[in-house]
Amino acid sequence: MQTFQGLAVSDGLTVGPVVRIDRGAAGLHRIVCDPFRERALYEAAIVLAKDELNRLQQHACGQDADILMFQIALLEDESFTNEIGDYIAAGAGSAAAVERAEQIFASRLKNVDDDYIRERSVDVCDACRRVVDILDGRPSRRLHL
């Protein structure tokens, strides 16, 4: 038996396989292009991320499907996309802009009194990580629901 130590992202217990996620040193070797190209890269990554989430949602049930629907809705949210677009227009790379929006939106949810809403901050991070992984050229991991 192996013992894993780390930080819990939500309260409670769960049973299932452990998947170790190594994010590496994201952002250290990114090349930032002009804002128009960065915006195009971001929009293409959003299309791919939403496609992945839609495929996952087709096989999900109950709360899992709801969480995936929330992630899709986040990627379509006007205030979310405007935040990213403004940062790209200011000269940031698309991946850095998504990471910044991730911090802003996850932090907002973490400060809500409702436990269920507060837990959605993890879903904001998951959706944003999916987009950043696409932008950084990381291969998609097969996810089993």
- The ranges assigned to domains in the chain are 35-135
Mean pLDDT along residues 99-126:
93
Rounded to 5°, the CA angle 72-35-108 comes to 40
Q: Which range among 6-15, 46-55, 58-67, 69-78 shows the weakest confidence by mean pLDDT? A: 6-15
pLDDT tier, 31 (very low <50, low <70, confident <90, very high otherwise)? confident
- Helix-strand-coil percent breakdown of the chain, rounded to 5? 60, 0, 40
The reply to whether CATH 3.40.1710.10 applies to domain 35-135 is: no
For the segment 83-105, what is each residue's pLDDT rounded down to a tens digit? 999 999 999 999 999 999 999 99
Q: How deeply is 98 buried, as exposed, middle or buried, from its count of CB atoms within 10 A (0-12, 13-18, 19+)? A: buried
For residues 124 and 68, the answer to whether their CB atoms sit within 8 Å is: no
Tell me the pLDDT band of 19, cut-offs 50, 70 and 90.
low
